[in-house]
Amino acid sequence: MKSTVEELDPTKVKMTVVVPAEELDQPMKAAYKEVASQVNVPGFRKGKVPPRIIDQRIGRIHVIETAINNSLGGFYQEALESNEIMPLAQPEISVDGIPAPTGKFEGELKFTAEVFRVPVFELPELDGVELVVDQVEATDEDLDRELDQLRARFGTLKNVERAVKNGDFVSIDLVAKVNDEKIDEMAGVSYEVGSGTMIDGIDDALIGLQVDEDSTFSATLAGGDHAGEEGEINVTVRSVKERELPKVDEDFVQLASEFDTVEELKEDLKNQILEQKRAEQAVAAREKLVEKLNELVELPLPAELVEKEAKARVGEDADKKALAEAKENIEKSLRNDILLDRVVTETKPVVSQEELVDFLVQASRAYGLDPMQLMSDRNQIQMMNLELARTKAVALMLAKVTVKDSEGNPVDMSEFLEEAKAGQEAADEEKKPAAKKAPAKKTTAAKKPAAKKTAAKKDAEADEEKKPAAKKAPAKKTTAAKKPAAKKTAAKKDAETGEEKKPAAKKAPAKKTTAAKKPAAKKTAAKATEEK
């Protein structure tokens, strides 16, 4: 196979690929089998029709077309790799020539592919670059917030006879209508006012209502057959409760934690706050580094592709403002993807199996999914592996810059750099070849013809095969973005609050922009032949 590349602009190329007939031998054999399994020819069992009969009855052109359709993606991918081109989108492919459809099978497959590509660029030198992040400190407000969250876990609910206010726990009835037609209703729904976990507008509608009073408001429906439509929601209050928080004293401390005194509990909470903020500081440093790379690298993007993606996102008839915002977001995302992939290539981070499994488990918990559901999805595994690799790559590149806090104090990134390197040692161990075993000695007691192995040699080889391989060193655990340590203030017993704990919302992993998709030929082989 031969291929040539014509650069149409810095972000788009045209590849011309020529595949001689002999390289289509295997695709043609597979195509004959595929066609044979699909046709019925009198005198032959299905799947057993020989190629010459298929050529006579069906026509070789149909087989050639099948072979090309099945192998075109592979030839295209091979051309990309041989020319070191990273695609940004699906190509536009045109088949310009095919092997002879009759007579001797000769000639060549010729096709062209126009594709948007990742532009060629170099990462900048980072010597002397300084990044500034927020200072780490545990304020009194931080400590009070942590204490209040702990107290809330042990709070008790009591009925009150007053109007609803923010933070109350209410039991409500809901009726939803669209165009004056009732579409849904629910009774006895528990809700914490102000939590924002129900339909938009409900908090404003509830505040100020007494028991058995109701209010009606408009909202965009989020689910069901009328999702996205404007509806009228009527809400009626059936009960109002407020949460009483326990006093912070030694009795509470001993109930809610493993500590004995209030001071011990506060010191532990303070350490947790600092640990969490240091992790957030590291995340901020990585984000600042990506911003700096965007400033230092001039990266042209294909305007045609950005425009197309923006219209697909907001619609062809979207107003100029919405379209401009979509284009800005797409350009930012695309630029970051390209830069991060280049940083991965530069730093060569290693994601261990243990790290990937841990990340998948964390993600499944955040999205409320079964971990096995994510682990069985190859695309999800690939995307999460890429996300981990990008995070570790940026962390490794932090070693090339200086990080200071807002007060001018140097920030020690060594802990997070070590985490980024953690999977490397385990991966290196995995890549080491198994230690070579000494070959079994040949017996010379009774020499036999060289063509046959002695029984002793066979037994020695069998014994060697039965020996277990040397155990690999376990992978060190790392985290993409360090999470705060689990609180030592684990509750011995939570009071019933009526609340349901929900995981923090996370963004779904962004799809990789540069993933190469299998192309579909614009012209079929048959059409190309007709044109010839």
pLDDT on residue 374 = 79
User: Is pLDDT above 50 for 530?
Assistant: no
Residue 58 sits in a domain whose CATH number is 3.30.70.1050
- Please give the tally of structural domains in the chain: 2
**Rounded mean pLDDT of the chain?**
82
Residue-wise pLDDT tens digits, 56-84: 999 999 999 999 999 999 999 999 999 99
Position 431 confidence tier, pLDDT thresholds 50, 70, 90: low
Region 305-317: what's the mean pLDDT? 91
pLDDT on residue 73 = 96
Residue 198 within a domain: yes
Final residue in a domain of this structure, among 179, 209, 244: 244
Statement to judge: residues 100 and 174 lie in one domain = no
pLDDT on residue 282 = 93
Residue-wise pLDDT tens digits, 471-511: 333 333 333 333 333 344 433 334 344 444 343 333 333 33
Give one DSSP letter per residue of 306-338, joined into a string. Answer: HHHHHHHHH-TT--HHHHHHHHHHHHHHHHHHH
Position 367 confidence tier, pLDDT thresholds 50, 70, 90: confident
How close are the terminal C-alpha atoms of the chain, in Å?
A: 22
Statement to judge: residues 91 and 160 lie in one domain = no
What's the pTM? 0.66
Final residue in a domain of this structure, among 244, 263, 291: 244
Residue 464 within a domain: no
Region 124-146: what's the mean pLDDT? 94
Q: What is the DSSP letter of 434?
A: P
Query: To 5 degrees, how large is the angle CA 328–CA 406–CA 282?
Result: 65
Position of tokens 């036999």? 448
pLDDT on residue 222 = 80
b vs e for 168-178, b when ≥16 Cβ sit within 10 Å of the residue's Cβ?
bbbbbebbbbb
In the chain, the amino acid numbered 98 is I
Residue 188 within a domain: yes
Range of the domain at 16: 2-118+521-531
Candidates 483, 288, 318; CA nearest to 394 is 288
Residue-wise pLDDT tens digits, 401-411: 999 999 999 99
Residue-wise pLDDT tens digits, 176-224: 999 999 999 999 999 999 998 899 999 999 999 999 999 999 999 887 7
Residue 137 within a domain: no
User: Is pLDDT above 60 for 149?
Assistant: yes
Q: Is the dihedral of CA 204, 209, 215, 221 positive or negative?
A: positive
Instruction: Show the DSSP H helices in 249-377 as ranges.
Output: 250-256, 262-296, 303-314, 320-347, 353-367, 371-375
Q: pLDDT: is 423 or 309 the higher one?
A: 309
Those residues whose C-beta lies under 8 Å from the C-beta of residue 376, and which sit 6 or more positions away, are none
| CA separation for the pair 43, 336 (Å, rounded) | 62
Q: What is the DSSP letter of 351?
A: -
Statement to judge: residues 92 and 22 lie in one domain = yes
Residue 97 within a domain: yes
User: Is pLDDT above 90 for 249?
Assistant: yes
pLDDT on residue 519 = 47
Position 529 confidence tier, pLDDT thresholds 50, 70, 90: very low
Range scoring the smallest mean pLDDT among 38-42, 379-383, 489-493: 489-493
| CA separation for the pair 437, 431 (Å, rounded) | 18
User: Is pLDDT above 60 for 463?
Assistant: no
Statement to judge: residues 184 and 232 lie in one domain = yes
Candidates 297, 294, 324; CA nearest to 311 is 324
Residue 171 sits in a domain whose CATH number is 3.10.50.40
b vs e for 472-483, b when ≥16 Cβ sit within 10 Å of the residue's Cβ?
eeebbebbbebe
pLDDT on residue 437 = 47
Residue 221 within a domain: yes
Candidates 343, 341, 350; CA nearest to 88 is 341
Position of tokens 């506060």? 266
b vs e for 405-428, b when ≥16 Cβ sit within 10 Å of the residue's Cβ?
eeeeeebebeebbebbbbbbebbe
b vs e for 195-207, b when ≥16 Cβ sit within 10 Å of the residue's Cβ?
eeebbeebbebbe
Position 346 confidence tier, pLDDT thresholds 50, 70, 90: very high
Residue 410 within a domain: no
User: Is pLDDT above 60 for 20?
Assistant: yes
Range scoring the smallest mean pLDDT among 121-130, 173-182, 451-460: 451-460
User: Is pLDDT above 90 for 462?
Assistant: no
pLDDT on residue 319 = 87
Residue 426 C-alpha from the chain's centroid? 23
Position 6 confidence tier, pLDDT thresholds 50, 70, 90: very high
Residue 49 within a domain: yes
Statement to judge: residues 69 and 160 lie in one domain = no
User: Is pLDDT above 90 for 242?
Assistant: yes
